Amino acid sequence: MLAVLLLAYAVYQFAQLKSMNEKVQNINEEAARKIKDAEEEIKLQKKEALISAKETLHSQKQEFDNEVRERRQELGRLEKRLLEKEEKLENKMQASVDRESELAKKLDELYEKEDYLAELVEKQTRELERVSGLTSEEAKKILLEQLEKELKLEAAQLIRENEAYIKEISNSKSREILSTTMQRCAIDQAVESTVSVVNLPNDEMKGRIIGREGRNIRALETLTGVDLIIDDTPEAVVLSSFDPVRRQIAKVALEKLITDGRIHPVRIEDMVEKAKTEIEEMMFKEGESAAYELGVINLHPEAVRTLGRLLYRTSYGQNVLKHSLEVGHIAGMLATELGANIDVAKRAGLLHDIGKALDQTHEGTHIQLGVDFARRYGEKEDIIHAIEAHHDDVVANSVEAVLVKIADALSAGRPGARRDTLEIYIKRIKKLEEIATGYEGIKRSFAVQAGREIRVLVQPTVFDDVAASKLARDIAKKIETELDYPGQIRVTVVREVRSTEIAK
């Protein structure tokens, strides 16, 4: 039994081995077949790659041939162009050589002519020296002296003509600039007085303002420093004072008391203090407004406050704050026309009379007070100089200072801007007529147009037209040296000859 099993196992193992050998053979055959197919595929790919490489090489060769052909054509064109240029250069060079040869010939001819002319000049010079008895140096000196005299005469004549032309043009241009500036600057001017009127609701209010035994009116006058005039004027009280700030404080306080209705010394004191506070605030706002209107910045607060005080300050009846604004505007416009510093002109024009806000409480002229004030609160030297020079206390050495001086005279000298006292006005009129009649041959003289023109009637037998013109200039010069006046004064000399005959 065991032998049968062993035999069967051996047969089974043999069969398994045979099967495995067949599988191995099949696998080997399959592997050989795949290797053969792979070799054929590789040969085919190599053949295709070779064909593609040949095609690419052929295409690149054609492109290279085309490029070489184009380069050769381009080189041919360049070579042709270079040959043409070379030919042109050769032609120009030959022309230059020919021209140089021609110029050399002409130069030789000029040298020959120069020698001939020099010899001829020398002969003529010797002949002239023999005839005139002068050497060439002496003749040259005489000619130069004569030429120098002629040139001096011509120069003097040209100078006189140019001076006349420049004076005419400058006068015309200055009048145009000033008139244009004045037309552009339209600031209202009002002549102020030393009194203010407060309207009352009824005449019974006058008794309440006076108070028992006059205590109310005394308290009001004592606290404000203003005189109250209560007379027969219906429903009105007059406040009189040369200090416009005090007068305004009294007016505001009195109006508040009338509105409140309670009038007694304690209430009067409260209202006066409130009025002072209101006026101080108003002055500061007015100073700010004036600076803003002119575009002046970085003013010290104390300078703004002091500037606002000029609202209640007058000069010959002209409001000084309005005057300062006008001066700033005029100076700025003149600076624009002349190309000067506009900011400096405006700032100096606004601050030029700031000392007038201080001269009632401090010692010194308004110019010196203004200079000290400006220096104390950090103004620059050009502004300080313009303030100091606007009344010729010092000589103006900058364009802006001169413009402020001109603008100040224009603003103050406009008709109606200021009110002179009657006594000063009459003195100026008399002095004008005395200056005019102080010359011989004068018939009469008349000051007209409020002293802005003097008309002089002369004897026609004593003065001819030229003498009349000279007389007008002499009178104008004398007025400039002996009189102080705003603006300008026209001098008109009238010379009239009348001949009368009767036809019979």
The CATH number covering residue 432 comes to 3.30.300.30
Q: Name the nearest CA neighbour of 248 among 280, 200, 216.
A: 280
Same domain? 215 vs 252: yes
Q: Name the nearest CA neighbour of 407 among 386, 393, 428.
A: 386
Please state the rounded mean pLDDT for residues 58-73: 88
Average pLDDT of the chain is 80
Q: Do residues 199 and 207 lie in contact, with contact meaning Cβ atoms separated by under 8 Å?
A: no
What's 291's domain CATH number? 3.30.1370.10
Write out pLDDT tens, residues 285-333: 888 888 888 888 888 888 888 888 888 777 766 788 888 888 888 888 8
For residue 335, pLDDT beyond 80: yes
Tell me whether residue 150 is in a domain.
Answer: yes
Please state the rounded mean pLDDT for residues 32-60: 86
Same domain? 432 vs 409: no
Same domain? 457 vs 478: yes
Q: What is the largest CA-CA distance in the chain?
A: 208
Q: Which residue has the higher pLDDT, 417 or 380?
A: 380
pTM above 0.75? no
Tell me whether residue 81 is in a domain.
Answer: no
User: What's the pLDDT at 470?
Assistant: 85
User: What's the pLDDT at 502?
Assistant: 67
Please state the rounded mean pLDDT for residues 445-458: 80
Of the candidates 157, 184, 211, which is a domain's last residue?
184
Please state the rounded mean pLDDT for residues 161-165: 70
Same domain? 375 vs 464: no
Same domain? 244 vs 218: yes
Tell me whether residue 6 is in a domain.
Answer: no
Tell me whether residue 291 is in a domain.
Answer: yes
What is the b/e burial string over 354-372, where b = at least 16 CB atoms within 10 angstroms of the residue's CB?
bbbbbbeeeeeebbbbbbb
User: What's the pLDDT at 184?
Assistant: 55
Tell me whether residue 231 is in a domain.
Answer: yes
**467 band by pLDDT with thresholds 50, 70 and 90:** confident
Highest mean pLDDT among 242-246, 259-263, 483-487: 259-263
What are 115's two structure tokens?
């020698």
Q: Which of 41-55, 184-198, 210-224 has the lowest mean pLDDT?
A: 184-198
For residue 190, pLDDT beyond 50: no
Tell me whether residue 129 is in a domain.
Answer: no
Tell me whether residue 426 is in a domain.
Answer: yes
For residue 504, pLDDT beyond 60: no
Distances 160 to 152, 153, 155, 163, 172 between C-alpha atoms, Å: 12, 11, 9, 5, 18
User: What's the pLDDT at 154?
Assistant: 78
Of the candidates 413, 437, 471, which is a domain's last residue?
413
Write out pLDDT tens, residues 203-259: 778 788 888 888 888 888 888 888 888 777 777 888 887 777 788 888 888 888 888
Same domain? 237 vs 332: yes
Handedness of CA 137, 138, 142, 148 (dihedral sign): positive
Q: Which residue range is the domain that position 161 belongs to?
A: 134-184
Q: Give percent above pLDDT 90 in the chain.
A: 0
CA distance 425 to 79: 103
Report the 3 state secondary structure along 432-476. Answer: HHHHHHCCCCEEEEEEECCCCEEEEEECCCCCCHHHHHHHHHHHH
Same domain? 142 vs 271: no
**Domains held by the chain: number:** 3
Same domain? 245 vs 370: yes
Same domain? 270 vs 242: yes
Same domain? 175 vs 260: no
Of the candidates 184, 206, 222, which is a domain's last residue?
184
**192 band by pLDDT with thresholds 50, 70 and 90:** very low
User: What's the pLDDT at 174?
Assistant: 61
What are 84's two structure tokens?
């043409």
Same domain? 179 vs 233: no
Q: Which residue has the higher pLDDT, 351 or 125?
A: 351
- Coil, helix or strand for 292? helix
Please state the rounded mean pLDDT for residues 76-92: 89
Name the strand (E) or helix (H) holding 196: strand 195-199
Tell me whether residue 389 is in a domain.
Answer: yes
Name the strand (E) or helix (H) holding 340: none
Q: Which residue has the higher pLDDT, 359 or 345?
A: 345
User: What's the pLDDT at 179?
Assistant: 54
Same domain? 326 vs 391: yes
Q: Which residue has the higher pLDDT, 170 or 444?
A: 444
Q: Which of 23-27, 131-135, 402-406 has the lowest mean pLDDT?
A: 131-135
